Structure 1
């Protein structure tokens, strides 16, 4: 029994040491005390992978540079980094190989062991199909207990005591929002109503979960104009919008949601656009007033909206009627 325990413990000790000695930039000029004067890119990538494993989105030892992984990495970056400091997951993804447990998998025509200059997600996806971890490390990450040990090592090693709670909150929000999004899609109204009150973290869970559910149901396409644009860095032009405001409805279910681009979202909230009884686009005559130049918005009038494939996810006419009567003019 003792020897079996030792075989389990030794890999944990090995990877705890490796996680606490990642090859990172240590320029005090570039990195603040919040990240212990070290580049946080690699810790953020490992934390993001742990989150997707905890959510059940990763079940095999292979990691694509997917939009879900990029979005999670961006969430960690935005949680603690200055708003004017930008970066991309393209930096740590290929460079983590230098730490001895991460193994790049190249696309045909490229060498996984060659050090290419990668500074954008487009270039990353051109060269690499993904990456793998040591099998022993992946097994440790699949176990909740050892996964949390490794997560704690990353947070405590590379981030100041003041920042650590924000990263722990981010991990909680990521997991809870994933669960919340599944409940939204499943139509569990009791789950969404339970989030009517709560701490700021609870509001973040609801916001992130609602966005994840609605945007995925519409496949990142604006319901009113049909535009779909995603950058390689994981940014999307669309947002999740409530038909009846959350403050009035406490309803995050798909029947009260629309996926809208920023222009259509603003126009919808301002009552300049709506959706008719036959799911056609409505455009208010107010768009023509004064010196307005509505451009393509006028061409959308009477066109059918873009809806999810399954009818149960379509916007509810009861909610749309309320928007038409109380907001649209």
Structure 2
């Protein structure tokens, strides 16, 4: 049985183009708990708050419930649910999952495969991370779910994994003249830029192209904040700062809140600015809450 292929082809809700990482987040959480206790089961009432936090931190802005993936992941053949009444999930109702003592864990065949080949766990985790989240979030997501960060690169079936265009980074950094589009940082050591990255506006993991009009040159700090939804790009290519961001230090004010309403630095004339449909995707799918008003 090809567990990497199953991980790569999780069936997900696709309504209105809204990203739905509910199943991948539960799967990653279950892999982390398997590392901790290979024989343990996850009682819904005990892990509900953990799963809620994962969905709030790494899921879409719209409200949702962890009961959905807890029930529906069974259909992908990687997850098993039992209740006080026996095998099978009672449904997606939170009250039913709590009342029936629903517990879930990785499917028996998958648990056996992970025991035979411990490296398989890292390869499955890499598939889930690569297909659903940007690289800037991989490390902290692994820590959050209790996975070892050093997950392995998988061998994924042909056609299941796109190939990145290695020219993207140089193309974006050149267009933005090696300066962060948010703060203007342009550090180098010798001739080499340091701390500058090519960010995808629409995440590559979710079909974002390796095109200049989907790229931003950002310093490492602002890349992370952009992918976490603290920062965004609005109309007129001006910087959005989420009202949900809280920071009281002079550094937080200088590097984050003071950016609200500022125009982007770059790209240079004659090159492609961010396409409107990629900006809209990020605002709707990643940016958190409402933007702060522009200072007078």
- TM norm structure 1: 0.39
Larger relative contact order (C-alpha < 8 A, sep ≥ 6)?
2
More helix by share: 1
